[in-house]
Amino acid sequence: MHRDTYLEQLARDGGRMAELANGDLTAKVPTCPDWTLRDLLVHTGQVHRWQAEAGRTDAGTFPDMSSAEQPPADDAAFADWFQRGVDDAVATLSTVDPDAPRWTWAKPSGGDTAQWYFRRIAQETLVHRIDAELAAGVERNLVDPPFAVDGIEEMFDMFIPASPPEPSLGGSGETLHLHATDTEGEWLVTIHADHITIDRGHAKGDAAVRGKAIDLLLFVWGRDLGGLERFGDAAVIDRLYAGFKL
């Protein structure tokens, strides 16, 4: 997707999280049970700041964040702190050439570009925006289905190759078909003994999970909030769902 599409999504979802920062920051996050809403916002606000800095310049390693603005002790100032991080990330990254070389943790030895940061910061914020809405007990904002598909593609393009499956997942060719019902998007996930492979397109698997793209995105991020149809071998679904909880 184009840089500006990612940054527009970041601005929307980041602004939504800043609004929710005016609520009860001690509320538990159901999808991140060890965190309160405050913990979630601290994490996401810090992600915004380091990714904006790493996207701005190629330091060849994780950027020096010693001078970054720290979360306030006063909860009343929290929403403004979070929004400043969103605004700075949007403003900073909007000036960066998508093809400019950049260090990323996905390719620490080089070979990546600033486009990695546009996608990563927007997709991270989308998932955590939904986490924040669940903590606040408010209705979820809608997500454009192709954007949710892009998030699934990011999981399969980057996170799965970088995170080999746990030994308990070691398979012998079991397959799970994922099928988005509200836009184009189908994947066949195969569990091998020491890795997982992804094929795009329609195929029959040992099991299948079918539903809206946003619900599939949450599923592959270990956040099964319902709304999905399941078919076939439930054990295969359960094994891969456990593996998606990175």
- Dist. CA 218–CA 1, nearest whole Å: 20
DSSP H helix total and E strand total for the chain: 8, 7
Q: How far is CA 211 from CA 86, 111, 182, 234, in A?
A: 31, 35, 8, 16
Read off the pLDDT of residues 4-26 as tens digits, 9 standing for 90 and up.
Answer: 999 999 999 999 999 999 999 99
- Residues forming a β-bridge with 179: 186, 210
What are the domain boundaries of the chain?
Answer: 3-141, 165-244
Read off the pLDDT of residues 104-116 as tens digits, 9 standing for 90 and up.
Answer: 999 988 889 999 9
**pLDDT band at 241, cuts 50/70/90?**
confident
- Dist. CA 39–CA 207, nearest whole Å: 36
CATH of 3-141, one of 1.20.120.450, 3.40.50.150, 3.30.450.20, 3.40.50.300: 1.20.120.450
The pTM of this model reads: 0.94
